[in-house]
Amino acid sequence: MDFPQPLVRGRLVARYKRFFADVVLDDGTALTAHCPNPGAMLGLNTPGLTCWLSKSDDPKRKLAHTLELIEADGGLVGLNTMHPNRLVAEALAAGAIPELAGYRTHRREVRYGENSRVDFLLQDDARPNAWVEVKNVHLRREGSLAEFPDCVAARSTRHLNELAAMKQAGDRAVLLFIVQRTDCDRFAAAADCDRKFAETLAAVAGRGVEVLVYGCAISTDSVRISGRLPWRDAPQP
């Protein structure tokens, strides 16, 4: 995924009301940007951090700028939770996720479960359907360990149970974590942030829901899915 225009650099002043961020650009311009991340952004909302923003030319937008990247702990972190689905769509089209390669069609936002929409439904005449939920990961607190979630994630827990139901019905069910950081080499559920999610993740994995974790190569020009990362607490065969 390439950014359509060069990002502009600034300094984070404050992130507030979940979707707003005050920023001062390098040229001294002070502005309020859209923050496309509903999470707690632990460790990524500290005033003074260097940030990178995109700008829209759409005159209908109330906020022209969007907070895209934060520089933290010596690397770039992708904050935009809308990007992982775009990244996965590109990777699926290119066959860059081997575990999900070879399906004839890739459908997005298909209804399933209890009033939910799965991120991707992969279909092929020669194999069972694959229901794929995508989660953005940006939390790092310990060494090179990426964690999810960074706050209570009741909706994500519901998705786990809905995936388990698809698996029980005879289809594939996959939870795909996309780590938008350049400083992590493994993954774990953040049980102290949401114990129910962590326990449910372990439980549904034991019932056949597949858990995949992929990292990203991130620059101020583009974001790409890179290699697979290990899940620290994966059930042992």
Q: What is the pLDDT of residues 219-232, one digit of tens each?
A: 999 999 999 999 99
> What count of other Cβ atoms lies within 10 Å of the Cβ of residue 58?
7
Q: Please give the pLDDT value at position 73.
A: 82
Q: Please give the pLDDT value at position 113.
A: 80
pLDDT less than 70: residues of the chain: 237
pTM listed for this prediction: 0.95
Q: Is the peptide bond before 235 cis (omega within 30 degrees of 0)?
A: no
Domains (range + CATH), the chain: 8-77 (2.40.50.580), 83-228 (3.40.1350.60)
List the one residue out of 109, 59, 49, 108 whose CA is nearest residue 79.
49
Question: What's the rounded Cα separation, in Å, for the pair 31 and 166?
Answer: 45
Question: What's the rounded Cα separation, in Å, for the pair 73 and 184?
Answer: 11
| Helical axes 195-206 vs 154-168, angle rounded to 10° | 10
Q: Please give the pLDDT value at position 124.
A: 96
Strand 8-16 to 50-55 pairing: antiparallel
Q: Please give the pLDDT value at position 74.
A: 78
CB neighbour list of residue 133: distance below 8 Å, 6 or more residues apart: 118, 119, 159, 163, 174, 175, 176
Question: What's the rounded Cα separation, in Å, for the pair 43 and 139?
Answer: 8
- Helical residues (DSSP H) of the chain, grouped into ranges: 83-94, 154-168, 195-206
99 three-class SS: helix
Q: Please give the pLDDT value at position 31.
A: 97
Placement of tokens 């969007």 in the chain = 66
Q: Please give the pLDDT value at position 114.
A: 80
Q: Please give the pLDDT value at position 235.
A: 85
